[in-house]
Structures are given as C-alpha cells and as structure tokens.
Amino acid sequence: MKRVILAALAAGFMLAGGACALPFADGTEPAGSEGTVTVISAEEPAPADDESRGEYVFSMPEYTGEDVITLNGGMPCFTDGDAAAPEGVVFSGLDSLGRCGAAFARIGRQLLPREEREPIGTVKPAGWQTVKYRNVDGKYLYNRCHLIAFELCGVNADERNLITGTRWLNVEGMLSSENLIRSFVEEKGGSVLYRVTPRYSGEELLARGVEIEALSDGDGGQGVCLHLFCFNVQPGIVIDYLTGESYPLDPENEWTEEGSSAADDSHEPYTPPEGVTYIVNAGSHRFHLPECKGVQDMKPSNRREFYGSREELIELGFSPCGSCKP
C-alpha cells in the first residue's frame, strides 16, 4: 500500500479531539487521499473550534485505581469531516519537547498490514528509560507504544506514532480496543474511525494516559463505539512523569543482574536534592521530611525522592514518619 507523507494543515480537524457532544457534530471538509499517511505540523497546529465541537471538553482524570475508564458516556467525538475522511492515517508532528500528538485513522481492510512487523528499537520516544523490574511482565517497565497499532495500519517505526508507555498500558490498557477494531474490520468488512490522543500534564515527558475514540462507520456505532481513557501506570511502580524515572514500591522487585546489587549501600552523607518534598523508605513504606534524621539512617537502596503531596503518598500505601511527622 502506497503511503505518501504530506505536510497538510488542512487535515488538522481530524486531530482536534478536545471537545464534543455527539459524533459528526460539524460539517468540516476532509483532507488527504486514500491509503495515505498525513503528518500535521506541530509548530503550526490547525485551531480547534470548540464552539462547533459541542459540550464535552476533555479534563485530565484522576487515577483512583481503575486502569481504564469511560469518558463522555462512551460516546466518541468525531465530526462530519472525520466521517468523510478516506481510509488512511493522520499523525501530528512532535512538539517542542519531542512528544507525540493525536493520531487519527479511518481503518479498513486495505489499511491492515500484510507484512511482518520489523524492529522499532531505534526510536527513543520522549521520556524513554530502559529499566527492568521483577514484578513486570517481560521485566521491562516501558514499551514503545503505538498510538495507532501496527496491526491496524502497518505504520511501525515512526516517531510520531510511538510514545513511552508502561507494559501495563500497552497490554492491559490499549490492546483490547485494538483487537476489537481489528476483528470488526476483518469480519464485517466495514471501516472504523479511530483517534488516539496522548494526554500530558504541563511539560511532563510521559503521557498520563491516552484518550481512545473509536466508531464503526455505516452502522451507527453498533459494532464499535468507544471513548476511553487508559492510564499510563504499572502496578507496584512509582513513575515520575516529568522525566520517566521510576522505582518499585517493594525493593524486592528491583532488578539486579547476577552478581550485582540493586544500589550502592555506602554510608556517605546524603544531601536531598533541591525541590524534593519527601524522602520515602521503600523498605519500611514510611515517608520523611528531607531534613529528618531517619533519612540519613536509611539504606541508599531503600531511599527514594518524592516530589508530590502527602496525600499522594498515603494513597500509595506509605505512612508518615513518627519522628518528623511530615
């Protein structure tokens, strides 16, 4: 299948999924041609017309332990212009931090790949870290997560289609939706409108999660109708979304190569970095003020720096130190 890379701002409406009430809410015209991959410039994005998109406006959901949640009553936010788009894929360009934007596709049988997937290890998405933990399936915390799955469009090692996502996001979060869409297209022969939008907080390099919208065309969404948010989390692992750094709640899950230690347990004086709010003991599951004497007594392999709130630590299962009373 021929794929032509275009720099066409006119296709930007396909990527503007910030607000809506019902599918096909406006009458904008499609852009592109059948079987194409269109790339939208990140430096000059097409403006989103929130007035025409209806009542729903995306707001970052709070993670409360549910890995996948429904947004907008399960109703996706496609426009009349999206519905008229030809079969193909539209990618956003990377932003100034190297992060992916929204990706849109009309997925039909012609778009499904017929070749084997090739390696993608040369792509390093924003926030990428190569780190392993014992409690992660496959050991590696992070996957190169496709926004539009290779099994749906055949686009593989394209930096505009790959984000740093946890193994949990990739398998437990996104995979079921991708399999549902692939099965519908193969078995029913119809097409599906599909948009995946990574959602970031401020200048964080890692997405807090991905917003997924999908609607089968021609049957009023009877086959596929989804509007979900999949959180970029991993059970038992604390993630710094600003940088991609992480640590396990249980130090036993720290990965060690044979003959090496999880961390240097030397007794050099420890100086907390500027801006840190609490120091966490991953062994005792207690948290301390940075100046607490107990911080110096910790094994370095158990010591973790935390930049969030007291409430966040308590929600993660940590208890305040009885001495410094943070």
User: What does the pLDDT look like over 113-129, one tens digit per residue?
Assistant: 988 888 898 999 999 99
* pLDDT at residue 50 tops 50: no
Q: How far apart are CA 9 and CA 12, in angstroms?
A: 5
Q: Are 108 and 153 within 8 A, CB to CB?
A: no
pLDDT number for residue 38:
57
- pLDDT above 90 as % of the chain: 53
State the pLDDT at residue 32.
33
Token pair listed for 150: 């290779």
Number of H helices, E strands in the chain: 7, 18
Tell me what pLDDT residue 155 has: 93
Mean pLDDT over residues 45-50, rounded?
37
Segments making up each domain of the chain, as ranges: 5-231, 262-320
Residue 23: Cβ-neighbour burial (10 angstroms; 0-12, 13-18, 19+): buried
| pLDDT tens, position by position, 269-282 | 677 777 778 999 88
- Using 50, 70 and 90 to split pLDDT, how confident is the model at 303? confident
CA gap 198, 172 in Å, rounded:
16
> Following DSSP, what letter does each residue of 164-232 receive, concatenated?
EEEHHIIIIIIHHHHHHHHHHHHHH---EEEEEEEE--TT-SS-SEEEEEEEETTTTTSS-EEEEEEE-
> How many alpha carbons lie under 13 Å from residue 230 in its C-beta half-sphere?
24
What is the SS3 assignment for 110? helix
Q: Which residue has the higher pLDDT, 260 or 282?
A: 282
**Tally of CA atoms within 13 A in the half-sphere of 266 that contains its CB:** 4
Residue where the block lists tokens 């009349």? 80
- DSSP states of 241-273: TTT--EEESSGGGB---TT--SS----PPP-PP
pLDDT of amino acid 309:
86
C-alpha Rg value of the chain to the nearest Å? 22
pLDDT(247) > 50? yes
Per the model's pLDDT, the better-predicted residue between 29 and 92 turns out to be 92
Give the pLDDT of residue 47.
Answer: 35
Average pLDDT over residues 310-315: 86
Residues with Cβ within 8 Å of 171's Cβ and at least 6 positions away in sequence, in order, are 137
Give the pLDDT of residue 257. 55
Report pLDDT digits (tens) over 72-102: 999 999 988 898 999 999 999 999 999 999 9
Residue 1 clears pLDDT 60, i.e. is over it = no
Fold of 5-231: Extracellular Endonuclease; Chain A (3.40.570)
Strand, coil or helix: 86: coil
Q: Is the pLDDT of residue 11 over 70?
A: no
* pTM, full prediction: 0.70
Query: Could you count the other beta carbons within 10 Å of the beta carbon of residue 161?
Result: 26
The three-class DSSP label of residue 70 is strand
